[in-house]
Structure 1
């Protein structure tokens, strides 16, 4: 979503959705569900793996409903208006080799105030996060239940499109997968958003100017999510991610909603891969995933005693375990949207099925 800045109110909705892709051979044979109807992480991974390897006849929008592994093509939402969810102002300055002192607000996650970012010294092809949410009864912002879940790459991607920038060496790409929930501009959808930062020229065809020297566009299509989540149902937000399969011509974002075998649904949107993540993974080295406010630099306000636990996992090849080197819990944020929670400590692990970082935030 948007990047927070100390400039006229503007922000980009950029979220990169990370797709969960786990080698099925490692986890087959584990039970499908818990006795109470809940799903174990192993059974969830098994199902995701089976769904994501199911044949898809063409690029488009899909969903899968547990326990079926069939990808069901659904009508996309085309041509959504571009509402920027951009980089924080201090990140913009850092990309230019400049800096500015920022006051720290301990009751804020995102924007210029901090978050945890997974950094890894390998070439990821899939990154996703699992959410565990408790104590939430209300989420407020400009509108009730308006928030976004975002997957954000590092804002330093290369792109042939930068050749037309006023200074091509200063231009960088940035990609997001975004679940926009109950937002006035998007409704409730999953989409990809792409940025050409510091373009400072007339934007290429198909891209729109944000009015501050950057160009932005949404993925060709967005996936409609049937029912907006509320304070009482946000705990069913299970996972979000991005996968860039080597050798393919597109990447995709995905969203998983449901917390038991009766409600689990996956949504998939296929992107346009303007930064060639499917063939140049070396440039994708960090990912931020969290729950924030809606587009335009909004803040999501959770009721007191809310807690969100987040585990971000990474793989260097779809369908197999990559190097198990421990990733890094880096500080910072790549989005202007925020929430009112306080970050706890972050731990990094390299010995699990996928290398991961894990942290919680609460109030």
Structure 2
């Protein structure tokens, strides 16, 4: 009898399989068929094994599909992979923890202004989607609310728009600069997560609008915040190793705003209150991973990643066009992480359109939207990626962006041993009204005409807009607008990097190409020299046009009584070296990790010129140029 029943059970199971085949997990089965449903749908049994996407392509297809479906009404909803339907779930209380706006000097880690924001080329932004790729990320911890112990996997994902004046919610403020602001937040406390929207009245004043749910915070001279009234959607705990599987979307319209989070197993959505009326004013989007909230004074916490971590955020904006977004080297939240920026500079690309950038535990630089360098003896790489040697002596304009950002360098000849090569002996910048110079022989820092003592690891706030830091042998000068210089002092010479706070933008000088075109050089009078250019034109037309007069020089504070003004007699490249010196220097460059190509030639020349193996290091960590100019 038992055998008969068992056989009958197998028959029924087989028949069921024939009549009701298992639904495929391929996202192609539901792409374009996403619908929104009410709370009367049958919930997924908790004891079922959670389905997961088999690969990144399947996950992305499902995420794309589910994000197209709006919430059926105001409230909290979720969907489980591969189900393309929203199901209403109970809302939970959002964390009563502020995510304060930025304040204080720009740090040398990601956050609190030092970040990258995507900007709309035209119009305004209606939604932003942020995602990540990661490498080497194994752990992270943060102080919840900027207090108490560090908790593993405690962090936030935030989409932050620009501050904007004119919000009707600021009507009761006596401060004309009161700004509306909101944040789309995923908050992970190490055991579970929530999504919610937090609204701010930045610089509202000493009190907040009464009877409206606002809480006062000490940020930016007194600000007010509150979370969306419907509550938060609860999300299963997402350890930091899941970061590459998470995608956050914030959106706003005239009538509502909303937030969606997708993971590899589910999606979560809510509709907010549109409490500050951000639509029509949203022009920039910051997206990143930060510490788990701030405190009542307006200070933000930090997400601390393990050494060896690399995180690549991708910020996709919807503004009604298809052109790639612009870049602004800025951010809006006070929270940070312990990573920093480095090579390469942010890249923008359609479709999307999206902005992609890299931050890591070894970055060592502030945020910038375009970077240019002058290293060694002296190899220049422009903001657009043109590499060329420039061996003239004197004071020169490296870069200028408008009236408030100027960078100059003093190049000195290598005579008598190397008469046709030069090095950077001093670098100076003017940011707004602040002037900063880094000099050698002896090494010193000069700010607004006076010497300043700075210790390793120290940051000096020169003004509300400019800060100077010393990290090892590198002086870093930054402005709140995102412009920066990094002057690495290597004994008698300086390697300089210049960062721009926005891109594309108009910039002139030795580190610029007219219109960003690496096929042209531009003289100071606007004359364009198509490449290739002759040795004579490079120095006696182009180079001489960018010389800085003694009256205009920011470098006179370095104290040189005589500044040589000269051009080399002939081109000088690595193949001009003695074969034995060339071979020895080449071996050192290969050992440092420098690959074949134009950077290897520059490396060989510098190792020979300076007689030190360390001269190769800068080339080992440099991205290959877009184009190369060899003047003959």
Inter-partner Cα distance in structure 1 for 2:339 and 2:276: 32
- Secondary structure of the structure 1 residue equivalent to 2:96: coil
Is the 8 Å Cα contact of residues 157 and 174 (structure 1) preserved in structure 2? no
Determine the structure 2 residue equivalent to 1:284: 282
TM-score, normalising length from structure 2?
0.44
1:176 aligns to 2:183 (yes or no): yes
Gap change, CA 1:81 and 1:315, over 3 Å in 2: closer
Change (3 A) 1:329 1:71: same
1:85 partnered with 2:99: yes
Q: 1:327 to 1:103 in 2, by over 3 A?
A: closer
What does residue 215 of structure 1 align with? Answer: 224
Partner of 1:123: 124
Structure 1 CA distance for aligned equivalents of residues 74 and 87 of structure 2: 12
Aligned-partner Cα distance in 2 for 1:313–1:190: 19
CA separation of 1:183 and 1:165: change in aligned 2, threshold 3 A: farther
Q: TM-score, normalised by structure 1?
A: 0.74
Q: CA deviation at 1:50?
A: 3.5
Are positions 1:230 and 2:208 aligned together?
no
Change (3 A) 1:55 1:237: closer
CA distance in 2, matches of 1:197, 1:54: 32
- Aligned positions of 1:1-363 closer than 5 A: 37-40=54-57, 44=59, 46-54=61-69, 56-78=71-93, 80=94, 82-90=96-104, 102=105, 104-105=107-108, 108-112=109-113, 114-120=114-120, 121-141=122-142, 142-156=150-164, 158-167=166-175, 169-182=176-189, 188-204=193-209, 205-211=212-218, 212-220=221-229, 221-226=231-236, 228-231=237-240, 233-244=241-252, 246=253, 249-258=255-264, 264-277=265-278, 280-281=279-280, 283-296=281-294, 297-316=300-319, 322-344=320-342, 345-350=344-349, 352-363=350-361
Contact 1:124–1:314, Cα closer than 8 Å, also in 2: yes
Separation of aligned partners in 2, 1:172 and 1:165: 10
> 1 CA distance for matches of 2:190 and 2:61?
32
Indicate the larger mover: 53-62 or 117-126. Answer: 53-62
Q: What is the distance in 2 between the residues matched to 1:235 and 1:213?
A: 34
- Note the C-alpha offset of 1:49: 4.6
Contact 1:132-1:238 within 8 A present in 2 as well: no
Matched residues in 1 for 2:106 and 2:117: separation? 20
Rate the CA distance shift 1:342–1:239 in 2: closer, same or farther, 3 A. Answer: same
* Displacement after TM superposition at 1:303 (Å): 0.9
SS in 1 for 2:164: coil
**Displacement of 1:335 after TM fit?**
1.2
The separation in 1 between residues aligned to 2:165 and 2:193, in whole angstroms, is 28
Give the distance between the partners of 1:179 and 1:252, measured in 2 at CA. Answer: 13
Q: CA deviation at 1:109?
A: 0.7
- In 1, Cα distance between equivalents of 2:164 and 2:70: 33
| Alpha-carbon distance between aligned partners in 2 of 1:310 and 1:47, rounded to the nearest angstrom | 20
**CA distance in 1 between partners of 2:103 and 2:292 (Å):** 18
CA contact (8 A) 1:236 1:257 kept: no
Q: Secondary structure at the match of 1:161?
A: helix
Asked whether the equivalents of residues 329 and 346 of structure 1 are also in contact (C-alpha less than 8 Å), the reply is: no
Distance 1:346 1:267, change over 3 A: farther
- Secondary structure of the residue aligned to 2:171 is helix
Asked whether the equivalents of residues 60 and 76 of structure 1 are also in contact (C-alpha less than 8 Å), the reply is yes
**What's the CA shift for 1:295?**
0.9
Q: Secondary structure at the match of 1:209?
A: strand
Give the direction of change, closer, same or farther, for the CA distance of 1:330–1:225 in structure 2 (3 Å limit).
Answer: same
Deviations 1:309-343 (A, max 9, x none): 11111112xxxxx3122322211221111111122
Deviation of 1:362 after TM superposition, in Å, equals 1.3
| 1:21 matched residue in structure 2 | none
Q: Could you say which structure has the greater relative contact order, defined with CA pairs below 8 angstroms and 6 or more residues apart?
A: 1
> How far apart are the structure 1 equivalents of 2:313 and 2:352?
14
- Residue-by-residue CA offset, 1:250-303 (whole Å, 9 max, x unaligned): 211111212xxxxx31111211111234xx33x100010001111111111111
Q: Distance in 2 between matches of 1:71 and 1:104?
A: 41
Q: How many angstroms does 1:198 deviate by?
A: 1.2
Structure 1 unaligned blocks of 5 or more:
1-23, 29-35, 91-101, 259-263, 317-321
Q: What is the RMSD of the two structures over their aligned residues, measured on CA atoms? A: 2.5
Shift of 1:183: 6.2
Partner of 2:474: none
**Distance in 1 (alpha carbons) for counterparts of 2:67 and 2:351:** 18
Deviation at 1:60, TM superposition (A): 0.7
Separation (CA, whole Å) in 1 of partners of 2:256 and 2:314: 25
What whole-Å deviation, never above 9, does each CA across 1:70-117 have from its counterpart, x for those lacking one? 001111113x45322112214xxxxxxxxxxx3642xx11124x1111
Cα distance, 1:346–1:242 mapped onto 2, change above 3 Å? farther
**Aligned residues of 1:116 and 1:346 also touching (Cα < 8 A):** no
